[in-house]
Amino acid sequence: MANHVTTRIDIAQGNDAAHKAMSNINKRHLDLQKEWEHQVPAFAMWEDTKALYDAEEWSLLIEEIGTKWCYVFDYDDEQSISFESAWGTPSDLLERIAKEITEADPNVILSYSSEDECPNWVASGVFADGELYDEETIDSDEFNDLGIKLWWDEDAEGAEEPDDFEPTWEELYNLLDDNVTGMIEGVIFDRDQEDT
């Protein structure tokens, strides 16, 4: 199990209010950069989780974020925010963000993707109506079985790594995108069924 996990949550479908809400989330971490200097911890972006940190309530803080530690990694102003965390997807943090953006746009659909640093696994999911609609985790054996090779296994291949070996990262990301697209289609279908 790898230590560092990168997760991005993104507005898949949303109105201007959803994008403004994402921008407000990103503004919070930008406003905290001077105070935290190196990386802004995710907990610092909300008063309740910052209070848990100040009170040294570590187990409660982990329950609110979903991982032992989690920092803002990158962002795209009104579209997305990415985190680096310990050992897994910061699922509770993603749910918190989804609920906040859903308050601004009740019809927003958010997607996420996660990968550990090896990667031993990748994951993707979709939030609708402020909660997790669906998600899928694919471990390295599964994506290797699909012909996605990110490293050369001399034992399995029976030969040394050729000079022209290229990891197929793009195929892995296409697989995640296809999974998210299918989940979004599921949300839309379910919503259409509710309306009829």
The number of folded domains in the chain is 1
Q: Which two tokens stand for residue 174?
A: 């296409």
Mean pLDDT, each 10-residue run in order, the chain (196 residues): 86 98 96 90 96 95 94 95 95 97 98 94 96 96 92 90 94 96 97 88
**Any domain includes 34:** yes
Task: Identify whether the C-beta of residue 120 lies closer than 8 Å to the C-beta of residue 173.
Answer: no
Q: Is residue 145 situated within a structural domain?
A: no
The pLDDT score that the predictor gives to residue 2 is: 57
Read off φ and ψ for residue 31, nearest 5 degrees: -65, -20
Kindly state whether residue 37 falls inside one of the protein's structural domains: yes
For residue 164, tell me if it sits in a domain: no
Residue 76 lies in a domain: yes
Residue 67's Cβ-count burial label (10 Å; 0-12, 13-18, 19+) is buried
Q: Is 112 inside a domain boundary? A: yes
Print the domain residue range for 47.
4-139
Query: What CATH number is associated with residue 30?
Result: 3.30.70
Q: Residue 171, class by beta-carbon neighbours within 10 Å (0-12 exposed, 13-18 middle, 19+ buried)? A: middle
What pLDDT does residue 156 have?
A: 86
Sign of CA pseudo-dihedral 166, 4, 63, 106 = negative
pLDDT, residue 146, reads: 92
